[in-house]
Amino acid sequence: MAAGRVRRLAAQLEARPVAGELAPLAGKVAIVTGASSGVGAALSRRLAERGCSVVVNFSKSADDAAKVAEGCAASGAQVLLCQADVATDAGCEKLVAETVKRFGRVDFLVNNAGTTKFVHHGDLEGLNSADFRRIYDLNAIGAFNMIRLCAPHMRKAGGGRVVNVSSVAGAYHTVGSSVAYLMSKAALNALTAVMAKVLGPEIVVNAVCPGFIEGRWLREGMGPDLYDYVKDRLETSIPMKAVATPDKVAATILMLLEASETQITGQCIVCDGGMGLMRGPS
């Protein structure tokens, strides 16, 4: 039933008119992976509000993704709803091919899709090789494949921008949901730097490294008691006295996509409310 609803919605979205030319990102095309909820959903809506054509990618959460696409379309934006598992080569190829078929170009890529397994760092038996491969396939290799496939289309369009959604786990190396997760995000940060070096100046590549993000994903992974404890502790200790929300992280990503006159590339922008400042002596 969900699949039928998604197909009907996709047909309706394809018939939508282009957003008004006065919108600041009108004419641009953005792919947002993992856009069915959280940061990806919030960013998709913000892009649509600015007149950007948005590709709402999802792997399994069809109903949630359909709601995001409907919200984007309500802003007057053109929207492509695309189911593709970007942890696989075939999924990445499908997503880019369908984007180019529909819109004829790619301007922005946001590698937001990610996964983890919540395992205490000291539990060395809690992760196996299959866990590492699953997490790396999506968090690091999938991001590389999406950049590889989008880069020629960005050059053809006159340039482009990539934002990888990483984590403070990849920046600080001793925090995060598991050892496999923090290693995959450290790899994503390294990918950000090298891609900025080899793809510039036509293509700008940066990453954002959020800290604790309020929402269902962390609550389900951590469990409600630990989630509430950590959230309350951060909100009384970090300089901003508030944890991030998906919309706040989306605002940081949007800043990087819109900042065409800056010299920022190859950077991993930490947006943790100052959590990292609390790691050393006060």
Active site residues: 181
Half-sphere exposure of 215 (CA within 13 A, CB side): 17
53 in helix, strand or coil? strand
Alpha-carbon gap, residue 92 to 149, rounded angstroms: 8
Alpha-carbon gap, residue 214 to 109, rounded angstroms: 24
Q: Identity (one letter) of the amino acid at 236? A: T
Note the helical H segments in 175-280: 179-199, 216-222, 224-237, 246-258
Closest to 188 (Cα-Cα) out of 211, 159, 162: 162
Tell me the CA distances in angstroms from 245 to 37, 53, 93, one per residue in order.
Answer: 12, 24, 31
